[in-house]
Amino acid sequence: MKLSTRGEYGLRAMFDLAQHYGEGPIPIKSVAERQDISEHYLEQLIAVLRKAGLVKSIRGAQGGYVLSREPEEITVGDIIRVLEGPIAPVECLNTAEGESCERAETCVTRGIWEKVRDSISDVLDSFTLADMVAKANQMRQDSKYYMYYI
Amino acid sequence: MKLSTRGEYGLRAMFDLAQHYGEGPIPIKSVAERQDISEHYLEQLIAVLRKAGLVKSIRGAQGGYVLSREPEEITVGDIIRVLEGPIAPVECLNTAEGESCERAETCVTRGIWEKVRDSISDVLDSFTLADMVAKANQMRQDSKYYMYYI
DNA sequence: ATTATTACCTAGAAAACTAGTGGGGATTGG
DNA sequence: CCAATCCCCACTAGTTTTCTAGGTAATAAT
C-alpha cells in the first residue's frame, strides 16, 4: 500500500515552488538541489504537472517554473492524482459502475475499496500548498524558540 | 496509488472462507475456483495468512483451511496488513519518528502522509469478515426481491 | 496397504513498473 | 553570440508482481 516516489517527489517540488511563490520563475535545478531529487528525473515529473496545468514554465535564461494558480488553490490531491493516476486501491474501481466486474453481486469487497478511496481523497483534498507553507513557517518559528531554550 | 492484487485476492479468499465458516475445512481449490484466482498463486498468499495466524490448515484428504478466529474478530485491516505490509503511503513513515528522514524540519509532507495512513487504517479496521458476509447476504436478498418485480 | 486428495515448499519466468541516465534540441535574457 | 534554462525521446538496471513448474508430505477413504 504505497505511493511511488513520483507523488512524493512531485509534492515536495510543488511545495518548494509554493515556498518561493511570488519570487518569479524558479529553475528546476534549484528545486532539485533543495529537495535532494535527481534533477533529470524531476524534470520529467514536472513536465507532467505542466501538461496538467498545475505549473507554468518560462523558457530561456532566468526562466523556470511558477505555480499556475495561487498556493491556496492547489490541493495535495490535485498533485497526487496527476502524478499517480486516479486514486483506486484496486483496479475494478477504475471501470464504470457495474461494468466489467463480474461477480459484482458477490463483490462486497468493492464497497470497501470505495470507502478507502474516498477517505484518501478527502484527506488529500483537505490540504493546500498554502497550508503546507504555513505549517513549515510555523515549524521554523517553533524551532527558533527551541534554540533559545538551549 | 494502488494495492497489489495480493491484498485483493487475499481478502476475497478470506471472505470466501468466512461465507463457509462452520462447514469444516474448505480446500483452496474450491476457493480459487469460486473467486477466479490462480490456485497455485492463491496457495502462496494463504501460506502467508497461515503464518500470520489468520487461518488454520488441515492436511490430507478432506482437508483445507478454516479461519482461526470468528469472522467477527477478523478485520479487513488484519488481512491487508499481512499481505501488503505496513500501510505506509511513503517510505519514511516506516522509519522511527524523527530518525533517518533528514530535512525533517522542512518535511511537512510527512504529516500529510501520516493522516492518509491513519484514514486508510481506520476504514480497513472498521470492517470485519462478518460484516462482509452480512452485506453479501443482504445483497442476495435484495436481488431476489428485484427478480419478483420483473 | 494403496490411492486419491489435500496441504506445503522451492525455484524460477514473464511482464510490468520504478527510478533513473544519456544525449541531445529549442528558447531567451544578458 | 552564449550561457542558462526548458523540452523531448530513448534506453537501462533493478525491483516487484503475478503466476507456473515440479515436486514432497500428510491423511482420509477404500
**Structure confidence by residue, pLDDT tens digits, A28-60:** 999 999 999 999 999 999 999 999 999 999 999
Is the per-residue pLDDT at B2 higher than 90?
no
Measure the CA–CA gap between A30 and B14, rounded to whole angstroms: 50
The more confident residue out of A104 and A87 is A87
Longest CA span, chain B: 64
Residues touching nucleic chain C (CB < 7 Å): A 4-6, 37-38, 40-41, 44, 59-63; B 25-29, 40, 43-44, 46-47, 50, 57-65
Range of the domain at A117: 5-149
Task: Give the model confidence (pLDDT) of B134-144 as tens digits.
Answer: 999 988 777 76
CA of B84 to C1' of C3 (A): 39
| Burial classification of residue B35, based on how many CB atoms lie within 10 Å of its CB (0-12 exposed, 13-18 middle, 19 or more buried) | middle
Model confidence at A139, pLDDT cuts 50, 70, 90, reads confident
**Cβ neighbours of B115 in A, within 8 Å:** 123
- Under 8 Å CB pairs connecting chains A and B tally to 104
B84: which chain A residues are within 8 Å (Cβ-Cβ)?
1
Q: Look at residue A113 and tell me whether its pLDDT is greater than 50.
A: yes
Q: Does B143 sit within 8 Å of A90, measured CB to CB?
A: no
Q: Do B93 and A6 meet the contact criterion of CB atoms below 8 Å apart?
A: no
Q: Do B122 and A123 touch (CB under 8 A)?
A: no
CB A71, CB A133: distance < 8 Å? yes
Q: Give me the pLDDT at residue B98, please.
A: 53
In this complex, the residue of B1, B85, B139 whose CB is nearest that of residue A120 is: B1
Q: Report the DSSP beta bridge partners of residue A55.
A: A67
Please report residues of B whose CB lies closer than 8 A to that of A8.
Answer: 90, 109
Minimum CA–C1' distance nucleotide for A30: D5
Side-chain half-sphere CA neighbours of B142 within 13 A: 8
Q: Report whether pLDDT(A86) > 70.
A: yes
For the cut 60, the answer to whether the pLDDT of residue B106 exceeds it is no
- Kindly provide the b/e burial profile for residues A134-145, where b requires at least 16 CB atoms within 10 angstroms of the residue's own CB: ebbeebeeeeee
A105: pLDDT confidence band, cut at 50, 70 and 90?
very low
C-alpha cell of A50?
Answer: 505542466
Whether the pLDDT of residue A103 is over 80: the answer is no
Q: Is A122 on the interface with B (CB under 8 A)?
A: yes
Tell me the residue ranges of DSSP E strands in chain A. 55-58, 64-67
Residue B41 CA, nucleotide D20 C1', distance (Å)? 9
What CATH number did the domain enclosing B25 receive? 1.10.10.10
Q: Cell 492547489 belongs to which residue?
A: A74
Q: For the residues B96-117, what does the mean pLDDT come to?
A: 73
The mean pLDDT value of chain B amounts to: 89
Count, residues in chain B: 150
A115/B109 Cβ within 8 A: no
Residue from B109, B98, B102 nearest A133 by CA: B109
Pairwise CA distance, residues A58 & B120, whole Å: 39
Closest Cβ opposite residue A116 in set B105, B106, B124: B124
Which nucleotide is nearest to B41 if distance is taken from CA to C1'? D19
Distances (CA, A) of A79 to A51, B16, B64, B81: 12, 38, 46, 26
pLDDT tens track for B48-57: 999 999 999 9
Position A2 scores a pLDDT of: 79
Question: Looking at A50-106, which runs of residues are DSSP E strands?
Answer: 55-58, 64-67
Query: What's the sign of the alpha-carbon dihedral B78, B83, B85, B90?
Result: negative
Residue whose cell numbers read 453479501: B136
Domain count, chain A: 1
Indicate yes or no: CB of A76 within 8 angstroms of CB of B11: no
Task: Report the gap between the CA of A74 and the closest CA in chain B (Å).
Answer: 15
